Structure 1
Amino acid sequence: MIFHITHHHDEKTCPAHEPEKVAATFGQVLPSLAEQGVTVHGAWVDPPGHDFFFVVESDSYEAIVEGLFPAVPMGTARIQPVEDFKARMQKVAQS
């Protein structure tokens, strides 16, 4: 399944000015997801908004949660299953 993840932290928990903290938290998210067998299709960041966005693929919600673990202390994540828009529109048109 494909999932869209939004991770948000605020200015109080932002590690941007602490390189060691960045490396230990957000810097570990992509390797951690890979270790859990999660395929990352894309990862983006909105620095002034304190938001990270990921599109990932996994058969296991639990693997995604475990993969995000390094960033858990920094804020909250919303994990949403999503599907291909064109494929959905074709299914709707056929029904």
Structure 2
Amino acid sequence: MLFMVKLTHDYSTCQAHHPEKFPLFRDTLASVGDHGIKVHGHYSNRLEHTAFMVLEADNFEQLDAAFDPILEMGNFEVTPIVEK
């Protein structure tokens, strides 16, 4: 199943201003494959503090487990999508 994940944060919680948090964010994104998730695309709009990811997983619980370490670092919107 495909999912579009939209991650937003504001200026005050941006990892650029909290460099101690960046390794956790980077490592969490790098390890989604350990949860059985395939990354189809990862895009960002730095000026809007927004990232988009197209991910493939068997279920939502895989996404929840993979992103658990960074859930408090922003707002996650997860939408199931289909490819046409």
What is the CA–CA distance in structure 2 between the aligned matches of 1:61 and 1:23, rounded to whole Å? 24
- The 1:51–1:4 alpha-carbon spacing in structure 2 relative to 1, beyond 3 Å, is same
What is the CA–CA distance in structure 2 between the aligned matches of 1:40 and 1:22, rounded to whole Å? 20
TM-score for the superposition, normalised by structure 2: 0.89
What is the CA–CA distance in structure 1 between the aligned matches of 2:69 and 2:43, rounded to whole Å? 17
Query: Comparing both chains, which one has the higher relative contact order based on Cα–Cα distances under 8 Å and sequence gaps of 6 or more?
Result: 2
Q: 2:68 maps to which residue?
A: 69
Q: 2:9 maps to which residue?
A: 9
| Structure 1 gaps, min length 5 | 86-95
Q: State the Cα RMSD in Å.
A: 1.3
| Structure 2 gaps, min length 5 | none
> 2:47 matched to 1:54?
no
Deviation at 1:42, TM superposition (A): 0.9
Percent identical pairs in the alignment equals 33
> Which entry has the higher C-alpha Rg, 1 or 2?
1
Moved over 4 A (4+): none
